[in-house]
Amino acid sequence: MTTAPAPSKEPTVTVPDTSTEVQLLVEPSSLAPRRRMAQSLLRSRELSILAVLLLVIAAATIKNPSFLLSSSGWRDLLLTPSMLILLAVGQAAVIITRNVDLSVGSVLGLTAYLTGRLFIDHPGIPVVVVFAAGLLVGAVLGLVNGLLVALGRVPALVITLGTLYIYRGLVLSWAGSSRINASDLPAGFLALGTQQILTIPVLFLIAVVVLSAVGYYLYTARSGREFYAIGSDPDAAVLYGLNVRRRVIGAFLLSGALAGLAGVVFAARYGSVSSDAGTGIELQAVAAAVIGGVAIFGGSGTVWGAAIGAVLLVTINRALPMLGIPDFWQQALVGALILSAIVLDRVLSARQSRRLVEARDQS
Amino acid sequence: MTRTYAAYAHPLWRRLLLTREAAVVALVIAVSLWAYSNVPYFGDQLTLTYLLLDVTPILLIALPMTLVIITGEIDLSVASVVGLSSVLLGVLHERGFSIPVAALIALVVGALCGALNGYLVARVGLPSLAVTIGTLALYRGLAIGILGTKAVTDFPSDWTQRASETIGGTGIPAFMWVFLLLAVVFTLALHFSPFGRGVYDIGLGSEAAHFSGVKVERTKFVLFVLSGAVSALAGVFYTLRFGSARGDNAAGLELQVIAAVLLGGVSIFGGRGKLAGVVAGVLLIGIISSALRLQGITVNVINIIIGLLLVLSVISTTVLAWVSDVAARRNRGARPTKTPAGVGTL
Amino acid sequence: MRHDSIGAASHPTLTLRDVAKSFGPVVALRSGTLVAQPGSIHALVGENGAGKSTLVKIVAGVHRRDAGEFLLGGEPADFGSTAESKAAGVAVIYQEPTLFPDLSVTENIFMGRQLLGRGRRIDRAAMYAEAARLFAGLGVHIDPRRQALGLSIADQQIIEIAKAISLDARLLIMDEPTAALSGVEVERLFAVARRLRDEGRAIVFISHRFDEVFDLCDTVTVMRDGQYIATKPIADTSVEEIVGLMVGREVAELFPKTPAPIGDPVLQVSGLTASGVFHDVTFEVRAGEIVGLAGLVGAGRSEIARAIFGVDRYDSGSVRVKGCEVPPRDPAAAIRAGMAFVPEDRRRQGLVTEASVTDNITGVIRGSLARFGLLTKRMENAAAGPWAGRLEVKTGALDMNAKTMSGGNQQKVVIAKWLATKPTLLIIDEPTRGIDVGTKAEVHRLLSELAGQGMAILMISSELPEVLGMADRVLVVCEGRITADLPRDRATPEAVMHAATHALTGGHHGHPGGHHGHPGGAQDQQAAS
């Protein structure tokens, strides 16, 4: 028996320690609710990305006060990101369910052109109807994506890559080489692009209303929470008996509708629409969501974070020239931001899981 | 007692013809024949030359992309590497480097770009979709940052001509030799080497592959490096062919490459697909584009067709699986097993 | 029959009679019968592969039965989804609970049926209060607001139970809930289970630990090879009787390990430690020797094996094969050193199930098959054929997918793959899990034969009779430590179970001081057996 691997000097685990340690780990937090809230807020991704945003704005403003302090500076700060906020909110909802929607740029292009055509072909059409048409067409295109993904059981990446081509092809064949010019659009509609209420641009208000509504829905509705459950663990969601298909279709419908709305906003903001409007913007929307803390494999993050991510992307673009950096470098910076966001997430989660293992191991 | 086994359950013709690859090849032939007889000028040498020149970058990048997707990953940054290598070639040429030296540096930088992707995906374990969306922006951003909106166009004419010269009177671009060489190398690596078997195993079950001693991390890393290097090569070709180095060269090409690879029968879930199918997939897109363009149909319809082909090709797999599943369930009711004779149930 | 009289008593919560289920050619359940009464904790026991899990999944709505009777509270039931079974009051707690890691504990409990406040908005305050109330009722301290990610298995199970209670489930099925729990956690779980029983719920408890079955349950049903064997009141039976019913045959006749000369040490593991998983693991395996690694599920046996083979990392310690150190975290190096590893999870780790028989068999050796770096299907088929033949793999052709094969046939492919590498050390984790009796005997004969040819074999098994029948020496692992080293003649079921539930503190076997032992020692000891 000499080769017997001798049990170590304390051969058995002292059981009482195990329990206290395990229970300590899950002991209800002794913090007062208000302090707990403050703490979780401080740790939240939304806040840290907001801090980066404020830093960028501060730096640009110090270099050039008109960046923030002039009336046009303030307006542009809010106006420029409005369109991307809409796209990022929809994209975030889709990514939270562990999917992705690459077709939003094409949807945006389609409804932007549609907006122009409606005004040209039906002079005097109410602006509200045009907005509704943009939403509706976007929703239908999103529904097609959702049905293909949910019923075809095919990765969203492939499906929406396909519909990216198809929808863009529809715009191209519809528009041809013609383009919508500002002169084709009614003045009332164009005014929306610059109009302000209490110094806040109307388009930004639209984006904030949409953001709040979607954020409120995802946070307080049963079906909204199911988005997170599905993205967190799709198999478990099926075991729970959640209606996964319906939620996934819903997410794509939302993303499509918001991209449709963004198309109308595009037309109002820029006045001119060519058939390549919105090309490549899908990756910016994904980037905004990822930077804003939406995990690319779903289950966590908020539309608030995605929206702040969108504002950050656009603002960096505008701030770079102020800071003496040619704005050609903007995209490189965006790439670096995305990479650091995902690497940071990994480092943090690795540290957390190591802490948990160590805590359990001390038992 | 030992028994001997038949190597294959089905005869050769069935294994060759009843495949996804065969279907794509058949489609290529059918579309070519249709275009040949219906589209004016389609049979011209010049058409062939332009068709092949146009698809060359996609053909090149599709080779490593196929392997990357078979392992279950994806590389969205390829077109940005094309842009970056194009800009480097231009800038280095401006600084007085000879074209071969500049091209070599561009290739090395491309490989380094791939290495960063590979490190983050294989070593750190980050999802390749997120990583390469990030590097898509990063590499493109570097390209645009270096050159701004300028373009370098004063490349020596002997090099720009070399990029589009043809082999004798065939109309086939001479650069196809480079592609052919790479295609042979990649085919041997994927279909006739232990490395390639490992690539498939990783895609079909990376855990089981790891348990069998397959170097999962290293394999993925190598593939991303290859993807970067070949994309840079495509960038060099692209630049010389158009005689123009620009930061936004080949923007959006990544989606065309992926569309072609998936169209060629590679599964986005990994583990399935053949290079022959992918080459056919690229050619199919090229031929359709070329034929439609000759008929005066613009890029828009081509987009729709590519998109539809892509969606249909992935949906068809699901639909076919569903159909055979239903059929199998029906069969099971009739017969005790649906497995061929000789397969025991123990 | 006994269970008939029990079933006829009043309204059983659950009645299953002669339920059958097949997956393609594989019969998972021949005839399952189980009658669970309200206010009772009913044990369901049987070896791995006896059909317990399939039975559970039919009740849970994961699978649909092919035949048989299924009543819930006297009403016929047939669930097409887990949502239906949940609605009918069935809650299942799996060995590894399925929670949403990103969501809070409370959200996990109430997902899909959250408490609503004004305007049908989720009322978080009410949910937190309700979760706290549930936890208090269960006598546990878990922060209702914390994320589910990082919870111990024990706490995850508590959350599943809290969910079941909030659903007011009348039938609670626990599938090996204690496998990964420590002593105190088990106590806590049992207290909760008794409380639920006293509320009049029916509980089905699946476990391999007889002390727990006899401690907690009032009735026991035994299954074997997909079939119902017997139902007994706990008070009227004994461990010996249950084991006899479970195994249903004499141990000796099934596991024919023939004595073989024991040679030099092949594998030497010393001080192997991976924090949180296993600690200070030291042992050796000699040529011609079969060493059994026994212990409860979750004790860390498979983890030790995986670390030795280099799949998992370890923090300290060393692994040597024939005296040469094997680098950590490098399965390829372990293979070069002469190791072979048949892992526990055949479908995910052992095989690439979507690949062909040939691809699987040549999966490890293909590097050496290549000529000038090139490899053709013909070369692979030529290499794979003889190994498939030697193991008598049943397949129509070598290019058939491994996916559709039976478990036994798949295991043969895995073993063929590793024997093709001509290893000096074979590590085999659960060699006969999910395999029918005939193939089981084949595998055992093969292992014995290989040991006879001088191969060193490290065998992990949860089936005690298999370990006792095959192993020259049994190492018992408990909570990540080796708690006993028993030679064949002293390895009785009692001794092993004792050590596995850490009652054995190294008192009468191990030598607390001598870590590395004397090389000759094992040989003497083997000679004795």
Answer yes or no: do B5 and C395 touch at CB < 8 A.
yes
**Percentage of chain A lying above the pLDDT 90 cut:** 38
The answer as to whether A50 is a domain residue is no
Flag whether residue A336 sits within 8 Å of chain B, measured between CB atoms.
yes
Q: What count of other Cβ atoms lies within 10 Å of the Cβ of residue C261?
A: 14
3-class DSSP state of C55? helix
How many DSSP H helices and E strands does chain C contain?
Answer: 20, 20
Residues of A in contact with B299 (CB under 8 A): 172
Q: Strand ranges (DSSP E) for C301-445? A: 316-321, 324-325, 339-342, 425-429
Residue C284, pLDDT above cutoff 80: yes
Domains detected in chain C: 2-99+151-248 (3.40.50.300), 252-338+423-528 (3.40.50.300), 351-422 (no CATH)
Per-residue model confidence as pLDDT tens digits over B193-237: 999 999 999 999 999 999 999 999 999 999 999 999 999 999 999
Flag whether residue B12 sits within 8 Å of chain C, measured between CB atoms.
no
Of C98, C122, C482, the CB nearest to A5: C482
Residues of B in contact with C344 (CB under 8 A): none
Q: What are the distances in angstroms from CA C215 to CA C41, C221, C234?
A: 11, 15, 9
Of B6, B192, B345, the CB nearest to C397: B6
The answer as to whether A134 is a domain residue is yes
Residue C29, pLDDT above cutoff 80: yes
Answer yes or no: do A283 and B136 touch at CB < 8 A.
yes
Name the residue type at position C508. Answer: H
Per-residue model confidence as pLDDT tens digits over B11-63: 887 777 778 888 889 999 999 999 888 888 888 888 889 999 999 999 999 99
Per-residue model confidence as pLDDT tens digits over A273-296: 888 888 888 888 998 998 898 988
Answer yes or no: do A352 and C155 touch at CB < 8 A.
no
Per-residue model confidence as pLDDT tens digits over C224-263: 878 898 899 999 888 778 877 876 654 445 566 778 888 9
Please give the angle made by the CA atoms of C408, C414 and C419, to the nearest 5 degrees: 120
Asked if residues B297 and A176 have their Cβ atoms less than 8 Å apart, the reply is: no
pTM: 0.81
Pull the structure tokens for residue A131: 């907005």
The answer as to whether A275 is a domain residue is yes
Answer yes or no: do A287 and B131 touch at CB < 8 A.
no
Flag whether residue B298 sits within 8 Å of chain A, measured between CB atoms.
yes
| Mutation site, C102, C178, C303, C477, interface A, largest A CB count within 10 A | C102
Q: What residues form DSSP beta bridges with C485?
A: C475
Residue A71, pLDDT above cutoff 90: no
A231-265 as b/e: b if 16+ CB within 10 A: bbbbebbbbbbbbbeebbbbbbbbbbbbbbbbbbb
The answer for B 121-160 residues in CB contact with A (under 8 A) is 124-127, 129-131, 133-142, 144-145, 147-149
Answer yes or no: do B8 and C354 touch at CB < 8 A.
no
Residues of A in contact with C477 (CB under 8 A): none
Confidence of residue A176 (pLDDT cuts 50, 70, 90): confident
Pull the structure tokens for residue C187: 């106590």
The answer for A 170-189 residues in CB contact with B (under 8 A) is 170-173, 176
- The mean pLDDT of chain A is 83
Flag whether residue B323 sits within 8 Å of chain A, measured between CB atoms.
no
Distance CA B234, CA B76 (A): 15
List all chains that touch chain A, counting a touch as 3 or more CB pairs closer than 8 Å. B, C
The answer as to whether A63 is a domain residue is no
Residue C419, pLDDT above cutoff 90: yes
Domain boundary assignment for chain B: 14-319
Q: How far is B198 from chain C (nearest CA, A)?
A: 8
Q: Of A102-111, B121-130, C273-282, C514-523, where does the model show the most confidence?
A: A102-111
The answer as to whether A361 is a domain residue is no
Q: What count of other Cβ atoms lies within 10 Å of the Cβ of residue A138?
A: 30
Answer yes or no: do B208 and C349 touch at CB < 8 A.
yes
ipTM value, please give it: 0.83
Domain limits for position A93: 73-347
Pull the structure tokens for residue A321: 């020239």
Residue whose pair of structure tokens reads 């026994």 in the numeric block: C294
Identify the DSSP state of B250.
Answer: T
Q: What count of other Cβ atoms lies within 10 Å of the Cβ of residue C129?
A: 14
Q: For residue A103, give the chain B residue with the closest CA.
A: B307
Answer yes or no: do A4 and C509 touch at CB < 8 A.
yes
Answer yes or no: do A26 and C81 touch at CB < 8 A.
no
The highest-level CATH class for domain B14-319 is: mainly alpha
Average pLDDT over residues A107-131: 92
Confidence of residue C507 (pLDDT cuts 50, 70, 90): very low
The answer as to whether A66 is a domain residue is no
Low-confidence ranges of chain B (pLDDT < 70): 1-2, 298-300, 317, 324-325, 327-346
What is the total count of domains within chain A? 1
Average pLDDT over residues C468-473: 90
Answer yes or no: do B141 and A330 touch at CB < 8 A.
yes
Residue whose pair of structure tokens reads 């022959």 in the numeric block: B276
Asked if residues B47 and B106 have their Cβ atoms less than 8 Å apart, the reply is: no
pLDDT of amino acid A362? 54
Asked if residues A336 and B140 have their Cβ atoms less than 8 Å apart, the reply is: no
3-class DSSP state of A155? coil
| CATH code, A203 | 1.10.3470
Residues of A in contact with C481 (CB under 8 A): 7-8, 11-13
- Side-chain half-sphere exposure of C378, counting CA atoms within 13 A: 2
Distance CA B39, CA B55 (A): 19
pLDDT of amino acid B343? 29
Of B197, B204, B343, the CB nearest to C395: B343
| Mutation site, C81, C90, C111, C166, interface A, largest A CB count within 10 A | C111
Please give the angle made by the CA atoms of B231, B236 and B240, to the nearest 5 degrees: 145
Residue A261, pLDDT above cutoff 60: yes
pLDDT of amino acid C271? 94
Angle between helices A330-361 and A281-291 (to 10 degrees): 30
Residue whose pair of structure tokens reads 């212990």 in the numeric block: C295
pLDDT of amino acid C285? 95
Q: How far is B314 from chain C (nearest CA, A)?
A: 19
